[in-house]
Structure 1
Amino acid sequence: MTAIRAFAAAAVSACLLLLTACGDSDDPTDTNPGGAGSSAPTDTIVIGSANFQENVVLANIYAGALKAKGVKVTTKLNIGSRETYLPALRDGSIDLIPEYSGVLLQYFDKNATAVSSDEVYTALQKATPQPLIVLQQSAAQDKDAIVVTKETAAKYNLKSIADLTSVAGNLTLGAPPEFQTRADGIPGLEKVYGVKFKTFKKLDPGGPLTQNALKNGQIDAGDIFTTDPLISKNGWVVLEDPKNLYTAQNVLPLINSEKASDTVKAALDAVSAKLTTEDLIKMNEQVSLEKQNAEDVAQKWLSDAGLV
């Protein structure tokens, strides 16, 4: 995300200093809650999220599960990309965030070769730097994917990413800015498949900017998450990935070990034990297509799963 994208350094500073852009605080009089160098109260878990809807829903699920066990929780949602929120985890501005195993492993270990869920999880446990740890992974997966319209697929006879090699020089790719430097982004497409696009458009992480640009023909291919309900609704084609550029991307909690009490671990492990890929697709549909509130969708899932 597979599992959430060069403006990162600036975003980190802005995000951590101007919290109104990054989330909420229980104390409206606090002028620098969770800012650089500050940490949350020791009895409170501060849950962050990346800047895309699925991750916001997952953060709300974690929050609801912990609250149900009597854990004090606050949230700071829509922080930004991994390059932005990981520094916040390290400095204690946030304590916990939903993550995706494969892309997180590649972030911590650019030479990682693990592909399967179990291999990736084992390698990730070893690669995650203290004081951070990952808890139990879920069966739910959400991968990045190169997606094209059915018309583009038919025009160029595209079934897999490999088929782009001879035609990408005429095409425009849309993706978040960090896709230009990530191992599974443009560098990976060139290294693994020899695919070089003519033009790159900086958009959002699989969200409405990318979706609309693909639908309106402003881009020919987009980086869109596999759990996006619009793929099926619009008849878009997810290009196959025979060389496993996008490895297993199981949803799991990334947490500061100092906040991972037995109660916290048990509550979050219970979420992972229940969460499926089908759940992600359904919740994404409820939020993005049916316009339901993310917190309400999360609470409904927790109730249906018997966790609240």
Structure 2
Amino acid sequence: MMRRILSAAAVAMTAALALSACGGGSDPLSATSATPAGSGGASAAAAKVVVGSFDFPESVLLASIYAQALEAKGVTVEEKPNIGSREVVYDQVKSGGLTILPEYINSLLAFIDKTSTARTKDEIVAGLKSKLPSELEILEPSAAEDNNSLTVTKETAAKYKLTTIEDLAKVSKDFVVGGPPEFKERQQENFKKVYGMEFKQWKPTGATTADAIKGGSIQVGNVFTTDPKIVLNDLVPLKDSKNAFGSENVTPLVFKAGVDDTVTSTLNAISAKLDTTTLLTLMKRIAVDKDDPPVVAKDWLTQNGLLS
């Protein structure tokens, strides 16, 4: 469940040198409501929506994708990027100060229901629909996930015929695994319970995990699935076939009274085309190629016919 807690650090390990231009100009917490809470109705929503984001580059990118697509449909949009953590941003959506927020389903459910044991996408979506307050709803989840992974080099994957974590469990006792210290603390028993998996050694690597895998000081590492170093270092994230991590599909969270059919259909069309490989490619452009998130967002929307 640590994904969103560590999100800024996870992306920032490659983005820090490239992404100082992501910050918003105005005070993000001074956002006015898209519509007053409880006012409801499609006509009210058409006046203006406020699209917010968490304070890390991937969230800023996703919010820009949402905002530009909505503007292309004639919706008046105000963007409030880089607001902060979920503890701050969630209440902004619930109150109507924000209308739309790109979210991650498992982290959102864990935030509102700390007793949840849901792991699959369908289980998590059902949990959210049951536990979200009446003011809020999630729209269609995308296939894109920014999740924890156990990742290896392409050479290791080929040598041991690894495509899933289940495959890894057969040989894991011979491997050194690395990641942030919290990863061992939170996942060691989880892997043992779900996969019967134990490692030769756990090694803290922090923000250098992908480089440590490539350099050979560890054989397996905890790398987030949209970290551009997966591409740069030619790494292979292993499929979590038993959902040990829980699904983290990118999904719009909306203030229900502030959205109409145009907003809903536009955001669902984005989710229908967004997958993890795409998100990884887009984040490489931001973190490595130093492209601005709005430019990257516009290019992707144009390529997918979502600005017409």
Q: TM-score, normalised by structure 1?
A: 0.69
After TM superposition, the structure 1 = structure 2 runs for residues 62-211 of structure 1, keeping only pairs within 5 Å, are: 62-68=66-72, 69-77=74-82, 79-80=84-85, 82-83=86-87, 85-109=89-113, 110-115=115-120, 117-149=121-153, 160=165, 162=169, 166=173, 171-174=177-180, 185=187, 188-189=190-191, 191-193=193-195, 195=198, 198-200=202-204, 202-203=206-207, 210-211=209-210
Mark the CA change 1:88 to 1:202 in structure 2 (over 3 Å): closer, same or farther. Answer: farther
Mark the CA change 1:181 to 1:295 in structure 2 (over 3 Å): closer, same or farther. Answer: farther
Amino acid paired to 1:50 = F
How far apart, CA to CA, are the structure 2 residues paired with 1:51 and 1:164?
Answer: 38
Look up the SS of the partner of 1:245 in the other structure. Answer: coil
Residue 34 of structure 1 corresponds to 29
After TM superposition, the structure 1 = structure 2 runs for residues 152-301 of structure 1, keeping only pairs within 5 Å, are: 160=165, 162=169, 166=173, 171-174=177-180, 185=187, 188-189=190-191, 191-193=193-195, 195=198, 198-200=202-204, 202-203=206-207, 210-212=209-211, 214-215=213-214, 221-301=220-300
How far residue 93 of structure 1 moved from its aligned partner, in angstroms, is 5.0
Mark the CA change 1:187 to 1:130 in structure 2 (over 3 Å): closer, same or farther. Answer: farther
Q: Is the 8 A contact 2:34 2:98 kept in 1?
A: no
Where does structure 2 lack aligned partners over 5 or more consecutive residues?
Answer: 7-21, 36-46
Where does structure 1 lack aligned partners over 5 or more consecutive residues?
Answer: 7-21, 27-31, 204-208
Mark the CA change 1:299 to 1:89 in structure 2 (over 3 Å): closer, same or farther. Answer: same
Amino acid paired to 1:162 = A
How far apart, CA to CA, are the structure 2 residues paired with 1:165 and 1:106?
Answer: 29
Amino acid paired to 1:127 = K
> Which digits, 9 at most, give the CA deviation of each residue in 1:81-128, with x for residues without a partner?
x4553344345553322123344334444433352x444433432233
Amino acid paired to 1:267 = T
How far apart, CA to CA, are the structure 2 residues paired with 1:195 and 1:64?
Answer: 46
Mark the CA change 1:47 to 1:222 in structure 2 (over 3 Å): closer, same or farther. Answer: farther
How far apart, CA to CA, are the structure 2 residues paired with 1:181 and 1:86?
Answer: 27
Q: Is the 8 A contact 2:49 2:259 kept in 1?
A: no
Mark the CA change 1:111 to 1:220 in structure 2 (over 3 Å): closer, same or farther. Answer: same
> Which digits, 9 at most, give the CA deviation of each residue in 1:258-284, with x for residues without a partner?
322333223212222333344323322
How far apart, CA to CA, are the structure 2 residues paired with 1:254 and 1:181?
Answer: 30
Amino acid paired to 2:169 = A
Residue 38 of structure 2 corresponds to none
How far residue 40 of structure 1 moved from its aligned partner, in angstroms, is 3.5
Look up the SS of the partner of 1:49 in the other structure. Answer: strand
How far residue 59 of structure 1 moved from its aligned partner, in angstroms, is 1.2
Mark the CA change 1:33 to 1:234 in structure 2 (over 3 Å): closer, same or farther. Answer: closer
Mark the CA change 1:214 to 1:79 in structure 2 (over 3 Å): closer, same or farther. Answer: farther
Mark the CA change 1:201 to 1:258 in structure 2 (over 3 Å): closer, same or farther. Answer: farther
How far apart, CA to CA, are the structure 1 residues paired with 2:64 and 2:84?
Answer: 14
How far residue 304 of structure 1 moved from its aligned partner, in angstroms, is 2.1
Residue 16 of structure 1 corresponds to none
How far apart, CA to CA, are the structure 2 residues paired with 1:231 and 1:33?
Answer: 32
Look up the SS of the partner of 1:225 in the other structure. Answer: coil
How far apart, CA to CA, are the structure 2 residues paired with 1:201 and 1:229?
Answer: 17
Amino acid paired to 1:143 = N
Mark the CA change 1:97 to 1:164 in structure 2 (over 3 Å): closer, same or farther. Answer: farther
Amino acid paired to 1:274 = K
How far apart, CA to CA, are the structure 2 residues paired with 1:46 and 1:190?
Answer: 44
Mark the CA change 1:202 to 1:73 in structure 2 (over 3 Å): closer, same or farther. Answer: same
Mark the CA change 1:218 to 1:58 in structure 2 (over 3 Å): closer, same or farther. Answer: farther
Aligned residues: 277
Amino acid paired to 1:276 = D
Mark the CA change 1:147 to 1:53 in structure 2 (over 3 Å): closer, same or farther. Answer: farther
Look up the SS of the partner of 2:257 in the other structure. Answer: helix
Look up the SS of the partner of 1:112 in the other structure. Answer: coil
Amino acid paired to 2:179 = L
